[in-house]
Amino acid sequence: MLNQGYGKIINTASMAIVLQNPYFNYYRSGVVKLTQTLGTEWIDRGVKVNCISPGIVDTPLIRSKDLRPLVRRWLVDIPAGRLAQATDLQAAVVYLASEASDYMTGHNLVIEGGQSLW
């Protein structure tokens, strides 16, 4: 990408860093800081580096019987009233990969239904 003078890098962290979750904070914060550093270092070479930080995503594992009580507790903390769907994240990735985001770099796009607003 650096040699061709154009590219998009999209990293994935977690909204847990916004909530200061100690279990995820250390290594996911590293992903965000790497995104910010490379985003500023490489923009003049045509490469934009951004990141998405998803909230809790609705997956088959999340739907398991054992996790139902935990999911109900999580939903209380999510203003959107639902878990993220894969399509919620896909739309963000399409945007970050497209020319529509050419002026954006070093950004962490948090997609969590408002959970970090509480």
- Average model confidence (pLDDT) across the chain: 90
- DSSP SS3 for 108: strand
Q: Which among 52, 30, 48, 29 is positioned nearest to 38, based on CA atoms?
A: 48
pLDDT of residue 53: 92
What predicted TM-score, i.e. pTM, was given to this entire model? 0.85
- To the nearest whole percent, how much of the chain has pLDDT over 70? 89
Residues annotated as catalytic (active site), given as ranges: 26
Average pLDDT score over residue span 96-117: 94
> What's the pLDDT at 29?
78
**The pLDDT of residue 104:** 97
**Under CATH, which number does the domain 7-112 receive?**
3.40.50.720
In eight-state DSSP terms, residue 80 is T
pLDDT value at residue 4: 97
Report pLDDT digits (tens) over 7-52. 999 999 888 766 665 565 666 678 999 999 999 999 999 999 999 9
How far is residue 28 from each of residues 18, 39, 49, 98, 101, measured CA to CA in Å?
Answer: 10, 16, 15, 24, 23
Write down the pLDDT at residue 22.
57
